[in-house]
Chain A
Amino acid sequence: MDVVGLTPVIPVIFAFALPLTSIIVKGNRKIIQAYALLGTGLTLISALKLFELVYSSEKPPIYTFGGWTAPIGIIYEVDRTGALITLLTAALMFLIAIYSYRYLEHEEGLEWYYTLYLGLEAGLIGVLLTGDAFNLFVMIEVTSIAAYALVAFYRGRKDAVHAALKYAFIGAIGTTMYFLALGILYGAFGTVNLADLSAKVHGLSFPVTGSPVGNIVIASGVALALATWAFLIKAAIVPNHFWLPEAHPAAPSPISAVLSGLVVNVGVYALIRFLYTVYGGELTPGLAKIVGTLGTVVIALGAVSALFGALMMNAQRDVKKLIAYSTIMHMGYLFMAVGLGTQLGLQAALFHIINHAIAKALLFLAAGMFIHAIGSRDINDMAGLGRQMPMATLGLAIATLSLVGIPPFNVFFSKLLLFDALMEKSLALAMVIVVSSVTALVAYMRVFYKIWLGKPSREVAVGESKSMAFVVLLLAAAVVVIGLAAPVILQHYIEPAATQTMDYKLYIQTALEYASRLKLL
Chain B
Amino acid sequence: MSTSEFLWAYLWTVLLLTLAVSLYGIIARPNMLKKIISLTILGDAVNVMVVLIGYHLTYPIAPPILPSLSKEALEGFVSSAVDPLPQALVITAVVIGMAVNMLLAVLAIQLYRLYGTLDVREIAKRGGEE
Interface string of A124-141 (1 = CB under 8 A from B): 000000000010011001
Interface residues in A252-293 (C-beta closer than 8 Å to B): none
Please classify the interface of chain A as helix (H, G, I), strand (E, B), loop, or mixed, using the class held by over half of its residues.
Answer: helix
Q: For A192, list chain B residues within 8 Å (CB).
A: 89
Q: A145-B99, A158-B114 are in contact. Are A179 and B86 (CB under 8 A)?
A: no
Q: A158-B128, A180-B46, A180-B50 are in contact. Are A165 and B104 (CB under 8 A)?
A: yes
**Is residue A161 contacting chain B, with contact meaning CB distance below 8 A?**
yes
On whether the beta carbons of A183 and B53 are closer than 8 Å, the reply is yes
Q: For A180, list chain B residues within 8 Å (CB).
A: 46, 49-50
Interface residues in A317-340 (C-beta closer than 8 Å to B): none
**Is residue A159 contacting chain B, with contact meaning CB distance below 8 A?**
yes
On whether the beta carbons of B110 and A155 are closer than 8 Å, the reply is yes
22 contacts between A and B (CB under 8 A): A137-B93, A138-B96, A141-B99, A148-B107, A149-B103, A162-B111, A162-B123, A162-B128, A165-B107, A168-B100, A168-B104, A172-B43, A172-B100, A173-B42, A176-B39, A183-B46, A183-B53, A183-B89, A184-B53, A186-B50, A186-B54, A192-B89
On whether the beta carbons of B50 and A179 are closer than 8 Å, the reply is yes
Q: For B54, list chain A residues within 8 Å (CB).
A: 186-187
- How many residues of B sit at the interface, in one of the four size bands? 35 or more
**Is residue A156 contacting chain B, with contact meaning CB distance below 8 A?**
yes
Interface string of A141-168 (1 = CB under 8 A from B): 1000100110010011111011111001
Q: For B89, list chain A residues within 8 Å (CB).
A: 134, 179, 182-183, 186, 192
**Is residue A23 contacting chain B, with contact meaning CB distance below 8 A?**
no
Given A162-B128, A164-B107, A179-B89, 11 more contacts at CB 8 Å?
A134-B89, A163-B128, A165-B108, A169-B104, A173-B39, A175-B96, A176-B39, A180-B50, A183-B53, A187-B53, A521-B74
Q: For B99, list chain A residues within 8 Å (CB).
A: 141, 145
Bound-state CA distance A177–B74 (Å) is 35
A394 CB to nearest B CB, Å? 31
The 8 Å CB contact of B103, one of A168, A175, A184, A186, is: A168
Number of interface residues of A (CB under 8 A): 36
For the A-B complex, the count of residue pairs with Cβ-Cβ distances under 8 Å equals 96
Interface residues of A (CB under 8 A from B): 134, 137-138, 141, 145, 148-149, 152, 155-159, 161-165, 168-169, 172-173, 175-177, 179-180, 182-184, 186-187, 192, 246, 250, 521
On whether the beta carbons of B103 and A145 are closer than 8 Å, the reply is yes
On whether the beta carbons of B86 and A186 are closer than 8 Å, the reply is yes
The 8 Å CB contact of B96, one of A141, A177, A184, is: A141
